[in-house]
Amino acid sequence: MRHIISILLQNEAGALARVAGLFAARGYNIDSLTVAATHDPQVSRLSLVLQGDEEVIDQIIKQSRKLVDVLEVADLTARLHLESELLIVKVRTVAGNGDALDACLYRHRAFPIDESGDIRTIQFAGPGSVVDSFLGELAAVSSLVELARSGTAALERGDAVLGAGI
Amino acid sequence: MRHIISILLQNEAGALARVAGLFAARGYNIDSLTVAATHDPQVSRLSLVLQGDEEVIDQIIKQSRKLVDVLEVADLTARLHLESELLIVKVRTVAGNGDALDACLYRHRAFPIDESGDIRTIQFAGPGSVVDSFLGELAAVSSLVELARSGTAALERGDAVLGAGI
């Protein structure tokens, strides 16, 4: 089962390595991970996506709570949550397909952030599965050159906050 | 100096922990990190932002090339590159400020992905400094509740690709 885990951690050298090490020690591969500062520069928020058995993930979460830099941990999977992922993708335009490419970008609210020769760089954001289907449509009207995905960032829905909030 | 480092790595359990451990061992704090699969599910792309001395970062990059799961490494800082970061932020609407909030979202091409009571969840993407200024404007017309940032994802500009590309 796919799990989305949110962790608040002290912004200290080594904090990320310790969290990543905990999952690696159990042989768990991380599908995606994002970590960046919250509104408080001393606190980072980490969003981690992985496939795993409920019981083992529960154990790892409990262990991660004991790590010195970890402030809060929550498995958002079973809660109402909102998730999104950023995609930056470079495509080579294909002669005769310019209008179809523009229509694809317009339909998906994606937009070019750069043009350089016949290469366009496009920015898009949405849930991971929506990013996948956008990429599929994009590949039908242009030639994909290179891409970077941010991995999933997520928040619980409504007024619930992890930790003290902002 | 701020560095953006791109790494292609085998999608193996422990690969991320080893890379993070290399930076932690030198006492380097990572400002942000994103990692997710590329178009090839066996290969992940990691984008890492940190502040550091040119010479020491160069050494760490050389060391990271020796890690078994690392396929390619590049410091994009000195090259023409495109970078962007995703923000998901929950705000509480403030009575009388509804129009100002809508205008702020429209001006920044940000859009609500959820509404639940007086809480709106907003999605935005742009370079980190642009995310910062958007958050500043947003805080002036609503009350920030909770946020998740993806960290910076980046690609070199033009037709250069890291590794074999797609």
Query: Which part of chain A is CATH 3.30.70.1150?
Result: 82-149
Query: Which part of chain B is CATH 3.30.70.260?
Result: 2-79
The number of C-alpha atoms within 13 Å of B3 and in the hemisphere containing its C-beta is 22
- A2-79: in CATH 3.30.70.260: yes
Cα distance between residue B29 and residue B16, in whole Å: 15
Nearest to A31 by CA among A69, A80, A83: A83
ipTM: 0.94
| pTM for the predicted model, two decimal places | 0.94
- Write down the pLDDT at residue A78: 87
- Mark yes or no for CB contact A150/B85 under 8 Å: yes
| Of residues A24, A82, A166, nearest to B144 (C-beta) | A166
Query: Does the pLDDT value for residue A152 go beyond 80?
Result: yes
Average pLDDT over every residue of B149-164: 92
Average pLDDT over every residue of A46-57: 92
Q: What are phi and psi of A79, to 5 degrees?
A: -100, 160
The number of C-alpha atoms within 13 Å of A158 and in the hemisphere containing its C-beta is 5
Alpha helix stretches (DSSP H) within chain B: 15-25, 54-65, 98-107, 128-141
Mutation site for B-interface testing, chosen from A16, A23, A39, A80 by largest number of B Cβ within 10 Å:
A16
Query: Does the pLDDT value for residue A164 go beyond 90?
Result: no
pLDDT band, very low/low/confident/very high, at A8 (cuts 50, 70, 90):
very high
- Write down the pLDDT at residue A24: 87
Q: Which positions in chain B touch A30 (Cβ < 8 Å)?
A: 13, 16, 35
Cα distance between residue B13 and residue B149, in whole Å: 24
A59-83 confidence digits (pLDDT tens): 989 999 999 999 999 999 989 999 9
- Write down the pLDDT at residue A141: 97
- Mark yes or no for CB contact B113/A147 under 8 Å: no
A99-137 confidence digits (pLDDT tens): 999 999 999 999 999 999 999 999 999 999 999 999 999
- Write down the pLDDT at residue A66: 93
Query: Does the pLDDT value for residue B82 go beyond 90?
Result: yes
- A82-149: in CATH 3.30.70.1150: yes
Mutation site for B-interface testing, chosen from A22, A46, A67, A155 by largest number of B Cβ within 10 Å:
A155
